[in-house]
Chains A and B, each alone.
Chain A
Amino acid sequence: DVKVTQSSRYLVKRTGEKVFLECVQDMDHENMFWYRQDPGLGLRLIYFSYDVKMKEKGDIPEGYSVSREKKERFSLILESTSTNQTSMYLCASSLGQGYNEKLFFGSGTQLSVL
């Protein structure tokens, strides 16, 4: 089975701190995604990447950046955290051969910004 691993389950940060959220997948998937999940809003796409060093903005990229230096790793960067970035962050990957490929999700990182 595909495994998508997120480096931290819980994080607590202060406003203005820089945060790196790491995600690693072990099945040579082309596509990787970062979503944030908020009650009543579901999952919203922040950024995705379909190849190494490639990235595309999702619906809510403001305040975030990403890095994909290696195929298996996709990092989400919050340069200067704010309280409205308190959320559950979910990483996902997919094989990438077509648009009907299912996503494999990590367990999520709950970020609290104080």
Chain B
Amino acid sequence: AQSVTQLGSHVSVSEGALVLLRCNYSSSVPPYLFWYVQYPNQGLQLLLKYTSAATLVKGINGFEAEFKKSETSFHLTKPSAHMSDAAEYFCAVSEGNNDMRFGAGTRLTVKP
């Protein structure tokens, strides 16, 4: 079955600094990959998704992710962190069988 590993349960950056959240996946077929964000006391919201159309995917709030098949990675980046980006971020993978698997999550803290 498909699976996802997120490296780093907690990432802390200064406001204005680069955000890099790491995700590696395992899949027996070409995967569909997602990043979700969860703000405090809320459900998850989709940030972006990869569906094989382009390897660099742009999402909401200035985030983007690059699919690298050779590295089985789908890291999330944002050039300049904002205080409002503080949240928990989840990488997820789907193989087309109506179920999605999530990583353990990375909590992003943004320092003023």
Contact = CB atoms under 8 A, between A and B. Distances in A.
Interface magnitude class on chain A: 20 to 34
Given A41-B104, A99-B32, A48 B99 contact: yes
Contacts, number: 62
A74 interface: no
Interface residues of B, number: 27
B9 interface: yes
Interface string B48-60: 0101000000000
A92 B38 CA distance: 14
Nearest to B50: A100
B48 to A, nearest CB: 10
Interface of B: 1, 6, 9, 32, 34, 36, 41-46, 49, 51, 90, 94-105
